[in-house]
Every structure is written in structure tokens, then in C-alpha cells.
Amino acid sequence: MRRPVGAWMRRAVHWLGGPSWFANWVGQRKGAYAVQFHEEAFARLQTATAGEWRGAEVGTWLTSVGYELNEATKAIQIHDHLSRADLFELSREESIPTRDVCVLVFAWGEMRPRNAKLLLKFSEWVTVADRLRRGQIDHYQAYASFHLLSQARKMLGCGPAYYTKLLMFLPAEAGRGFILDQWTARSVSLLVRDPFIKLLREWKNKERYRVHGANGVEVYRRYCGVLSALADSLAVSPHVVETLLFSEGRGKGDWREYLTASEAAPR
């Protein structure tokens, strides 16, 4: 026989934000994380649509970086503009070297050519990427390794926003991580009302940020937990959630328009 909820519990639920908050807290616990979503922001996300990111023109980008693909890679037809599906397929193709797959991921993500040139002077990160692609380490272990290399200045030109793209595209489907860039980080901060992901504002463009290199693997693990909780609530896959949070601005994505407006509004 169930005991009735006492007055103290009703008062606690009311104080914490009402029954909807309590239901979210109970239903959205993932691992060690209890996730509370801001009600208005969550409602807006429910109506958002996912778009398809159209990256840089591959040939032009490779030329600007001065990178030549392996002969095995050249033998495979590569679209001028890569999609997520293209990158998943290229990663599964064993004849393509891991370094080439990573470079194509960076082209899709429109990494600045000067940053790509810096990064390609180093090789230890490619070893980590290859182990991730072969299933020898998981995406959390890969994040931790990339983070250490970055802190040791052995991944110059590449921060979390780009090395988490490798966590998405290199592993087999069951082991994929999530991209953590300024838009997904800012979205999560708005949804949970807790800016636990450290960001840096770009000094040339005060409206843009980048994910701080100091964010360690525990921050990334918590971020993944929030995306999984969102996926449960929206009844979609976590990777669909990631595309919803990325959205696009300039009239191409309702969520990003809402995000930037909410950040600018006084609280």
C-alpha cells in the first residue's frame, strides 16, 4: 500500500519548481547525474528541427591546407561536400588511413587551414585516433588522451570542438561520442541553467565562443549524460539531440535563434 505524499514533500516539490521539475529529475537521471531542465527552454527544443551541416568544399580545403590524401583514399569517390553519413562510411572503409579520415572530418567541420597545418605537424594524436577507430579505447578514454596531448601542446590548432568530432565519426556506432562545440555547450548551459562547460569568448567577435581546453573528461562525461537524458525525454537518439542543439542561425534554425535571444535577455 502506498503512503500518501506528506505535506513536507508537497512543499519541497513546489519549492523546487513544481511537479514537472520533480518528474524530470526522477525520469532523467543518468549514471551519477540528476538532470533538471529549464521548462521553457525544453519546450522550445521539443519543437526544433535538425538540419544537415554542409561543410567546406573538400578539394578547396585540402589545397588550402597543403594536404594530399593517400592513394587508397583517392581511389574512393569522395563528395565535394561531405555529410555525416559520408564520414561514417569513410571511417568504416579499412583501406583508408585513419589520418585521412581525421583530415576529412576536419574539412567537414571547416577547421581553419592554419590550425590544420599546425595540428598535422604532430603525430601522437593520430595514434590515439587510430586506437579509437579500432575499438581499442572508448570515446571517454580518447577524450582524456586528446585532452592530455592538448594540455602538453602536442595538438596545437585543435581543441575540444574538433577532437570531439573524431569521437563521433571514428568509432563503430555503439561506441560513438558526441560533438562538443560552442553551440551545443551553450545550449546545454541554457537547458540545465548550469554553465559547467567552460567557454572562452573570441576577442575579435564577442558573439562567438570556443570550448575551453581546460574542460576535462569528467566535464565531457557529464555533457554526454545530459544529451542522453534529453534523448530519453524527447524519445529520439542522443545523436539526433546533438544535431538539434547545433541548429543553425540566420533563419535556418529556430533553436539557435532562441538560444542567442535567451542569452542576450536580462535575467
Find the mean pLDDT for residues 18-37: 49
Q: How confident is the model over 131-180, as pLDDT tens digits?
A: 999 999 999 999 999 999 999 999 999 999 999 999 999 999 889 999 99
Mean pLDDT of the chain: 86
pLDDT of residue 36: 86
pLDDT of residue 254: 84
In DSSP notation, 157-199 reads T--HHHHHHHHHHSS-GGG------HHHHHHHHHHHT---S-E
For the record, the C-alpha cell of 179 comes out as: 560533438
CB burial of residue 203 (10 Å; 0-12, 13-18, 19+): exposed
Looking at residues 36-59, what average pLDDT do you find? 89
pLDDT at 121: 97
pLDDT of residue 252: 61
Taking the C-alpha atoms of residue 263 and residue 94, their distance in angstroms, rounded to an integer, is 44
